[in-house]
Amino acid sequence: MHIAFVASDIDVAQQARRELAKRYGETPIAEAELIVALGGDGFMLRTLHAYHTLEVPVYGMKLGSVGFLMNMHHVDDLPARIARAHTAELHPLEMTTFSADGDKREAIAFNEVSLLRQSNQAAHLEVRLNNAVKLPNLICDGLMVATPAGSTAYNLSAHGPILPLDANVLALTAISPFRPRRWRGAILPHRTRVGLRILDPGKRPVSATADFHEVRDVREVIVAQAEGRGVRLLFDPEHNLEQRILDEQFAVE
């Protein structure tokens, strides 16, 4: 198999990349049948953003501070590990933003799209689902739409639900909601088109972020599942992503 190795900037990841390339050989990214990513979850996200159009599977090894999307780092038996790995397919979100001057920008997110207030003033948001207004005015610090893979990240820290990987749903999670006081979010069918309009953007500016791509001073944001942009992650059987997401619902630490 033709393998390309990519690594984060930290020394231990770069050293691991050199060792693996020496042992198994290395193929240029454009010719690879598989990408091995060395680092943490943040580096894995950047790898997916950079190379998802190549449509080759990605196998991660944990050499960073967080590794929910990664396998354990071992140099030995890499071809055998890849041969018995389980595949998890991730479907990203597509974020489309509009500014006051009509500027339109697009970005994708494998974890979540989040809106956050930019000032000390709470954000006022109109929430639409498939063009139907569901919340005329949500007053909050922010709001996010999370994928199942991203439901254990920022979404979980904001008290959003953990979603099974194959559930075909998205989490709509409020960040510090004030009004409506008892609204804490919703679970949406994965094909839902979420429209978010910023109310009083001059006084209450809002930024929108797709994973790590931020757009400031947005006036409207549309979020929908990106069609035809799925990526395949490979996991050792003992680190199956579906099982790890399920186990997170019973974590008591």
Catalytic residue numbers read 41
CA 108 to chain centroid = 9
Give the sheet arrangement for strand 231-235, strand by strand: 3-7, 34-39, 58-62, 231-235, 86-90
Distance CA 190, CA 201 (A): 28
Taken as a whole, the chain contains a residue count of 253
Distance CA 240, CA 212 (A): 25
Buried b / exposed e over 47-59, threshold 16 CB at 10 Å, is bbbebbebebbbb
CB–CB of 217/105 below 8 Å? no
User: Sign of torsion, CA 78 64 159 216?
Assistant: negative
